[in-house]
Structure 1
Amino acid sequence: MHTRLYRNGALEKEGFPIADVSDYVGDPGSTVWFDLCSPTPEDLGVIGEELGLHELAVEDVLTDHQRPKVDIYDNHLFITVYGVHFEEDRLDPVEVNIFVTPNALVTIRGSDHFDIGEVVRRWDAASRLAGHGVMFLLHGLLDYVVDTQFDLVQELDAEAEALEESLFEEGVHDARELQRTMYVLRKNATGLRKIALPMREVIGTLLRRDQELVADPVMAPYYEDVHDHVLRTAEWVESVRDMLANARETRLAQQGFRLNEIMKRVTSWAAIIAVPTMITGFYGQNVPYPGEGESWGFWMSTVLVALASVALYAAFKKRDWL
């Protein structure tokens, strides 16, 4: 069981059944956390009744693909964020819904791909702040979510830069592989943008001084730090998207340039072939012509073909058409 009980800033108990939570939430000096992974509607209904959760918030948990947000109710907050997870090189975010009451934090994960164990390790590493109750727990969770998003945008930026440099490397590119890499990067950057940009509003709402549930001057600087990371992530992901858009335009320009080069060369060779064809066709007429039936007529046509071909080749080469 992912459950914890803090009392007076110290971890007192963990791993107890969720059914025992109701015994602790009534104590103002206690802070309770418990985690659910893909719970049933019945489980959510029981928890909603025990903690007095709003029915609309419980309904949102049962509805997939919520936008990252903060909903404010009379006695609790409802927060939706997304963790980073990859499935076959594709970003597959994990929805995490959070209920925040004055002395309880409830996390509901869409799947076990969200590493809740890393969140617990962060709490243990910063146990000196455990006396700040729910806001301490919420900070550790949001800090982990934002850090994983920040790490991802760094990786995408490095991959985008490598892609840009590869466009100008000498040698023949595997066009299909390059196109696939560009597509996957753009798709992952777009997916990250959808879950990272709304985090500015989420953290900004929590930092509002009129929120009694999260009013804690000691924890405020830590949330400001998370907010700074959110802004950097949002700006960086936009930069990566612009970089990938430029790479795509560069690739299209290169393809257009290469196509023009190919067409220019094909047209030039067609012109070189057309002149000998014209000369030999002239000498193949069924009417009298100079040199008909004479050996010098054959040699004259051969010389004309050779001279015309060489002249055209030299002219095209001088203009860089070949």
Structure 2
Amino acid sequence: MTEERSWAARGGPLSKAWAARMRGLLNNGDHFEPGGSDQSPTSVVDCGVYMDGKRTPGEFAPDQALEEASRQEGAFVWLGLHAPTDAEMASIARIYGLHELAVEDAVKAEQRPKLEQFGAVHFLVLRTARYVPHQELTESSQVVETGQMMIFIGEQFVITVRHGDASEMAPVRADLENQRAALLQQGPWAVAYAVTDRVVDHYLEVADDFEADLDLIEEGVFSRDRIAPIQQVYQLKRELVEFRRAVVPLQRPLAAITSSQGVVPKEIRRYFRDVQDHLTRTVEQVSSYDDLLNSILQARLAQVTVDQNNDMRKIASWAAIATVWTAFAGVYGMNFDYMPETEWKYGYPALIALLSIITVLLYRALRRNGWL
């Protein structure tokens, strides 16, 4: 169980308050009412209010957190969600004023990396990735597991919505709270940077681990035993395509962030440029892996063709040898009364000796020419 389990699963105080408010919201529109069972599930992972780079003590439900942040100038809310339902996301949207199109994207989690603006709220979509360990690469092995991360960035809040098990956010929150308070003072965009940085760092880890599998495949293809079947090469290429879909499209949103003026704080743009450099490195690695896999695949196909040609040459060679015996058998199998050597005492052993000599000579000639 990851640290991004819902608060309801942990049985924490926040889960009780938020579950009660969620039931009130679903039953009474925008009005929250407490009550009901404390075990109602919720997608809220953590919800905190931050002021001057420090977390405000106490636990808050999402609506309470926004009210608390509104009372303090420069304060903001960081709300973390994991795979929210339509109803949960709709309630969050009403509280924080999120656009319905962005909310729909956050629930379905089937988006390409992008950056959109809805009024004062920016919506950043990332695709997460993690390497799946495996003892042996087969034609059905999963090498890369992908998910999605959506980030809503407003003036007084940042909402992270995660789908999948990759790129857990608890270490990011802990690092910002304990080690990088100065960065956290920059506000919601600092959180967006930290989340993006972790996602891209995972890209680098996946690329390095993927290279190890690629080396094994390359070694297997070009070894004497040729232990890597073409199905394994094709499966690895499929996994690389999935990884590429997560990495390459992110270049445009990051370029938009680093070139923005007045929206993203200048200091944060410097940090995003560092993330962009890491992403560029990963894109170059993925492109080189793709080229190498194409070369390996073509080489393996060429090897298969050569092996098939060699098999056909061997079959043709043995067929040629067998043809000699077939020809003599066909001639002497004719029903004629008068044929040479048919009544000769040594005719049969002489014919067998002659055929054996022809067979040996033909075999040596074919072997010398590489057909056998």
TM (norm. structure 1) is 0.91
Determine the structure 2 residue equivalent to 1:22.
66
**Which amino acid letter does the alignment assign opposite residue 245 of structure 2?**
K
Q: 1:45 to 1:234 in 2, by over 3 A?
A: same
Measure the CA separation in 1 of the matches of 2:109 and 2:266. 34
Give the deviation of 1:117 after TM superposition. 1.6
**Which amino acid letter does the alignment assign opposite residue 90 of structure 2?**
G
Q: Give runs of aligned pairs for residues 121-132 of structure 1, distance below 5 A.
A: 121-123=174-176, 124-132=178-186
2:110 to 65, 76, 95: 65
Q: 1:55 to 1:32 in 2, by over 3 A?
A: same
Q: Deviations over 1:222-265 (max 9, x none)?
A: 11110011111112112111111111111110011011111101
Give the deviation of 1:14 after TM superposition. 6.0
Determine the structure 1 residue equivalent to 2:364.
314
Determine the structure 2 residue equivalent to 1:76.
121
Measure the CA separation in 2 of the matches of 1:146 and 1:163. 26
Measure the CA separation in 1 of the matches of 2:352 and 2:159. 92
Q: Which deviates further from its counterpart, 72-81 or 59-68? A: 59-68
Give the deviation of 1:86 after TM superposition. 5.9
Determine the structure 2 residue equivalent to 1:234.
283
Measure the CA separation in 2 of the matches of 1:269 and 1:44. 73
Residue correspondences, number? 317
Q: How large is the Cα RMSD of the aligned pairs?
A: 2.0
Q: Deviations over 1:89-117 (max 9, x none)?
A: 25332111110012311011224554122
- Provide structure 2 residue ranges, at least 5 long, that are not aligned to the other structure: 1-44, 133-140
Q: Give runs of aligned pairs for residues 1-322 of structure 1, distance below 5 A.
A: 1-13=45-57, 15-26=59-70, 27-85=72-130, 89-111=142-164, 114-123=167-176, 124-171=178-225, 173=227, 178-210=229-261, 212-214=262-264, 216-287=265-336, 288-322=338-372
Give the deviation of 1:194 after TM superposition. 0.8
**Which amino acid letter does the alignment assign opposite residue 72 of structure 1?**
Q
Q: Deviations over 1:257-280 (max 9, x none)?
A: 011111101111110111022123
TM (norm. structure 2) is 0.79
Q: Secondary structure at the match of 1:33?
A: strand
Moved beyond 6 Å, runs of 4+: none
Give the deviation of 1:75 after TM superposition. 0.7
Give the deviation of 1:15 after TM superposition. 4.4
Q: 1:235 to 1:86 in 2, by over 3 A?
A: closer
- Indicate the percent of aligned positions where both proteins have the same amino acid: 26
- Provide structure 1 residue ranges, at least 5 long, that are not aligned to the other structure: none
Q: Secondary structure at the match of 2:285?
A: helix
Measure the CA separation in 2 of the matches of 1:303 and 1:14. 103
Measure the CA separation in 2 of the matches of 1:302 and 1:188. 61
